[in-house]
Each structure stands twice: as C-alpha cells, then as structure tokens.
Structure 1
C-alpha cells in the first residue's frame, strides 16, 4: 500500500512541485491499492460508504480506465512509488486478464468481468465492442511497450503480447463495411444497431490516429477527413467570453475533450489542416474557466479559485457538464488534468480545494469525483476515467513523460503522417 497523505491543509502548504507529486501519488493509489485485486485491472469506480470511509468496489473492470491506469503506473515507476519489477508483475496480471476478455473483431467492451473475461453490458444494446474505450486502452499499452524496453524475458513477453492485442484490433471493421466514418459500437447480438458515428470534435481524436496507425487493420485517411472532421459539431469559429474557438460544440464542450486523447498525443505543435491543437485546447480551457468566473447562473463557490466543468458524477447521477450544460457541479479532474494548459490558474484551484474543502474533497484515492456547493453535495465516488488523467496530465506538465513515450511509437508516427499531421516529434518529414 502506498503512502496515504490525508492532511489537506499540510499539503496545501507545500511548494508547487512537492504538492503536485503528493496529488499524483495519492491519486495513483486508485489504480494500485484500488484496482481489481486479482487482475490489477482498473475498476470503473469505487464508492466510500459509512462514517469509516470504507470503500466499495464496482465489480466492473473498465477498459478505457485501465488504459489510463497503465499510463499512471508508468508514472509511478518513474517517480519511484513502485518498483519496476512490481509494475511488470502487475502488468503481467493485467495482460493475462485482457487475453481472457471476449473481444469483438479485436475490440474490447466498455466493461468486463476481470475474472472470467465476460463482457458486462453498459446498456442493453451496448453489450460488445467499444472502439473508443479500446483506443484508450491501446494508448496505455503502447506507452508501456515503449517504457518497458529492457532485454529481459518478462519485458520481451510483455511487449510481444501488447503487440498481439494491438495488432488484432480490426479498426477498419468499424467503418461498417467501408463507409467514410468510424462507428463506436458493434455487437454480435445487435449488429450496428447503436449506429453511433464517431464524428465532430470530441475526445476521439486518439481513436482515429490509432485507426490510421494500425499495422494490420488500418483505415483509409479519408475516413478521418470525411468522418471525424465532417458534420455538425466539428467546425465552430464562434467566440465565447471573448475567446474564439475553431473547433467543437458551443463553448467547447466538457474539458475531458482536452485530456483523454492528449494523455498520449502531445498537443505542443500538433497541427493538421483543421487546427493547432495546443491553441485549440488552451482556448477551450480559457472559455470553461471564464464561464465559471462570470458565473451567469450565480452558483455558490464558482470563481477564479473554483472552476472546471467536465463529465462526472453529480447530485442527480452522471452528466457531461460544460458551460451550456451547467448545474453547479465542479469536477476536480477538469482543472487538475488541465495543468499543462494553465499551470498558475490550476495551482490556485488545487490549493483552494485543499484549504477550503479539506477532507470533504480529499480522500484515500485523491479528490472525490465532484461537488456541488449549491446543494451541499460532495461525491462519495472516485472514477477511473477521472483519476487517471490527473496523474498522467500532471506528469506531462512536469516532464512530458507520456507524451514522449507515445509520440515515439513508430506506428503512431506513421498514423499521424498518414492523416497529414505535423508535430515536432515527427521531425523533418512532418507534413
């Protein structure tokens, strides 16, 4: 079990570097102490119950959350919170569980039973392959393949098995027979009944990059240009709070759009014919923050020290919060995973969370998922897809570790070139 920093006011007094380290380490405990005990896969969520704060585990292993957890594990090794050997042992168990999973044309489901490998449906028709969650998992697996590069039997086997899982994903199958767009879901029971096209600016840039990068089942680049980059919700060009945003929905949407794909994709200098992605993401963040500072609906607590709207739990369930869908719920991951984009502003929020809300927010696995001062509600949950990006994006701000690993993957570089991206990581042959 890792060190448990439970004194929020003492943490808030630390210098920036030590404070960031403590937040990363405590949040990583979700994926180390809070993972499925046998397999090590990330659980979708854990819930604090009772006065003791004992936590209950959701039995569902989360595929996307596991991808973020693998990236967080790399941070833990690099920071010395766990040993390299312990991490390799954990990854071996995770790998074995992933091979047990039922896959659908190589794609994993959103949720699985870690012990049996059986799919756990997310909804009646969402009961099989989920290409987007699979892309988050592959992002983490490819980072691990790059990081654990030593010439030992254990590391060689891990890399070979990661290649097997990655190569078997039939990205082109998810074009529904050659259409110019990717589809999110496919099920042997319901076919393409979900019919959810992956298009318009959102969290799925990573899905298209990996689909173009795949060694065996790649999509044609036109699927990106005619699918993702087409239709309503891609081009914007409007101004909000005096800040113009080139792509995305009104106000930019929830902040996880700037986190999920960019846990691995380095937005610095990342450009294609549609956007400069560092500029896009920083503008999105500034709009989200400006909305909370302006606080047009008068929610208690909102301001320069308390902002951040994204998908999370809230008093009534789960919602993708953003300025156009704002019910007074602040999600710590929204600001904290944005550290690379606005360091001073995020550190102000971090210290405010610790000093003002203390142990109502700061618990065993870092910050709880969300809170709403309007209704005096503080979540008793932690979610894998919210905790993971905190660890990863904070590390990307500090050292660029995951960005360097992911952008060094030869297949990823080939995929970015195929889609006509340019990036400093691609060198002189960039588009």
Structure 2
C-alpha cells in the first residue's frame, strides 16, 4: 500500500513540477547559476526570519524549536550550545548575504557573547540546555556537558571573532577557557561523549567513528592544543575488520600518519567505495564542512568522501522510489528521530520516506543542480512556509512536520552563505590559528576509496 501511495505521489509531483518548476533544460550554465542564486537568496531571507522572531531580545539566545499543533504555535524556549553556535554563524551569514547591516549584526552578536560570559559552565564548557529568557540552566533534562555540542559553540565563536575583529578578544577568551582536555581519554586517544555533572562521571562511550559530526570538536581540540595531534588518527575510519557487528565487513589497508598506524577502511555500495558515517545521515557527513575546508584541502580524503555521500544519498533515494532525497535526523510529527540512507552507516539509521530539507542545502556545493531540482520538488510537497522549509516531510505519505529547528535553520543559512559567497564561513574559521594550525591533518590523509 505504501509503495502505491509513493508512486501516486511521485506522478502528482512530476505533473506539478512540469507546471511550476523553471525549465532549465535549454538555459545556459550562467542562466542556471542566476536562477539558483535567486532561489537561494529568497530561501535564506525567509530562513533568517526564524532567528529574528525567536531569539530573545535581551539574552541573544534562540529558541530550540517552534512547532504547530492543531494550528497552535508552541515555542520551545530553551537552547543548546550548538544552537548558539549556529545562531552566530547565521548572523554572520545574514550580513554577508545583505539582509542585515554591520551594526545590526554586531549588536546581535554582542548580546549573545555577553550572555555566554555570564552563563554557568563546567571547565569552561557549556551545559546542554539553558532557558532562553534568562540563560539559567534547564535542569529538567539533567546536567550534561556534550563534546559535540561544545564543538559547535566553539566554531560559532571562532567564525564570529574573525568576521568581527572588534569581538575577537571576547570570543577568543571564551574559546580558550573551554577545556576539552577534561573530555579526552588519553589511553584510548578519543573524546568521551561528554560528562554528567550531576552524576560526576564521564560517559562510558567514546566518539570513535571518525566520519561523524563530532570530528569538528576533535579538530578544534587539536587546534587549541588541548589534545595531541595523534587523536585525529586514533578514530576509526571504519571499525576494525574483526568487529563483525557492523553493517559491512570493510576492505582497505594500513597507513601510517604522524607515527600512528591507521586502518584506511571503506565500505562499498552500488560499486562505489566510501568511508561510512555511524548512521548514514547527511549531517554526520557534511555538517563539519560548513567550517572545515574538507573539500578544498582534503581532496583525497574528506572532500572526496563528502562527494560520495551526496551522490549515494541521491542514488539511494532513487532506488527507494522517493521523489525527493536528503535523509538526516529531523523533527517528526511525534518528536525527533534519526533518518539516513541506511547502507551509508556503520550501524545505519532507518529510512521510512522521511526527507529533511537541511540535507539538500548541506549538499549544495557537491551537487548544485540536483539540489536546485530537489528544492523545487520539496516546494511542490508544500514543505515551504513563513520561515523557509518546514523540518521534514514523509514522501511516501505526504505528511509534513510543521516545525522549525534552530539547528536545521542554522545549517541552511550557513550552507547557503558558503555556496553564494565562496566558502566565507570556512575562510573565517581557517583565518583563526585554531582553524589554521591542524590543516595538515586534512591535507595528508588518503582514504582507500579512489
């Protein structure tokens, strides 16, 4: 029954797309570029309205999410370190794209930075949840220090400090105080998932999988000098061949970098080799490239692998008969869940027809014209609203999740700014010594996927 519904939906979409989508078949490359640019600017302007309307005017903290249930709006008035970092990058992006002026951007960022200077922290690292109204700790959900979330806050501060030199002294001081040493396990050579302040204990698990979103926190930790360079090589490209629980038994070879032996393993899908993420989602694969020059510097490793993941996500969606592509964790009508192109993960997340628009924008720099077409398809599914794209749609049932998430809005803003302004956020990040110092880690590695 689901397959029949999906087929009917695809036919309707193709008919609708034939009517509403600009005909680019006979358009020059320059004309296609202009059409895409115009679309992206309009989308980013709508997307930024979320931050204008749901960021507290006093604290400069953005609501985690806004949902509509039975026509009633529910603002989730708490925020996370990742949300704060993505808000700062969105403000920088908004000025770069011409939606706000320098004075407005500076004023917005100063509020947020002033709040950060006065928030409760642990070893300079920020807790998972704070109330947006007064920046106090939200203790209902525990008192957890997340490695990955702090990495994104550090990234936002670094970008803001380079984009606005008048802020640098304060942003740099906050980042320097964020002590990642306290989350590093020197015996294993990997970062812990985090620290439970209430329980007084580090998590039992480590961030062992390399090709996931925590690699940014690892990069920043190395750039700061909090952890040694060898940490980069101690993460698993695939899990060892002997770990037979993983979705595929990897192929590959051993290589040595900076005196550390690394198993350069890969999986294969439809004849293409790739280094898997944990779950197979787009944001695990591509979110770090919002600030890391993986495409520019990691031409034989991370940049090449990013391209493979985009191509394979698109192929996977076509195989499933989905009219649109882009699988990544997203809001659902019942809450939030993880979605992926399942074969791309070591322990792949589910795929049930749920597509999230932020995945398309993350893929812009790797498949711009396919992204443009996907945007048109998503619009024809009635996913577009007052604040840009709603967070997800199930392309088998047509059900749209009427929600916006600060994280996903921020990824969309940053991805569009990078695409239209030649990697501007990455440039800012790598202008800082923290971003510049470990660049050789990106350059020297060669994945076994050629």
Superposition TM-score, scaled by structure 1 size? 0.83
Matched, 1:22 2:42: yes
Aligned residue for 1:244, secondary structure, equals strand
Rate the CA distance shift 1:48–1:195 in 2: closer, same or farther, 3 A. same
Aligned residue for 1:238, secondary structure, equals strand
Aligned residue for 2:340, secondary structure, equals coil
5 Å-filtered alignment, 1:107-256, equals: 107-121=125-139, 123-124=141-142, 127-149=143-165, 155=166, 158-176=167-185, 179-200=188-209, 201-214=211-224, 218-227=226-235, 231=239, 236-249=265-278, 253-256=280-283
Alpha-carbon separation, structure 2, partners of 1:368 and 1:345? 20
How many pairs were matched up? 387
Alpha-carbon separation, structure 1, partners of 2:140 and 2:267? 35
Partner of 1:351: 376
Alpha-carbon separation, structure 2, partners of 1:248 and 1:61? 26
5 Å-filtered alignment, 1:188-337, equals: 188-200=197-209, 201-214=211-224, 218-227=226-235, 231=239, 236-249=265-278, 253-271=280-298, 276-295=301-320, 302-303=322-323, 306-324=324-342, 325-337=350-362
Matched, 1:86 2:104: yes
Q: Deviations over 1:339-374 (max 9, x none)?
A: 1110010000111222x223xx11121100001143
Post-superposition offset of 1:236: 4.7
Rate the CA distance shift 1:173–1:60 in 2: closer, same or farther, 3 A. same
Partner of 2:435: 412
2:287–2:411: 8 Å Cα contact kept in structure 1?
yes
Partner of 1:5: none
Alpha-carbon separation, structure 1, partners of 2:269 and 2:202? 36
Matched, 1:392 2:414: yes
Partner of 2:442: 421
Post-superposition offset of 1:317: 3.0
Partner of 2:249: none
Q: Deviations over 1:118-176 (max 9, x none)?
A: 3325844xx23112111101111111111112xxxxx2xx2211111100011111124
Q: Considering fraction of residues, name the structure with more strand.
A: 2
Quote the RMSD (CA, aligned, Å): 2.6
Superposition TM-score, scaled by structure 2 size? 0.80
Partner of 1:44: 64
Query: Which consecutive residues of structure 1, in runs of 5 or more, have no partner in the other structure?
Result: 1-7, 150-154, 424-431
Alpha-carbon separation, structure 1, partners of 2:376 and 2:137? 41
Alpha-carbon separation, structure 2, partners of 1:11 and 1:27? 22
Aligned residue for 1:15, secondary structure, equals helix
Rate the CA distance shift 1:228–1:68 in 2: closer, same or farther, 3 A. farther
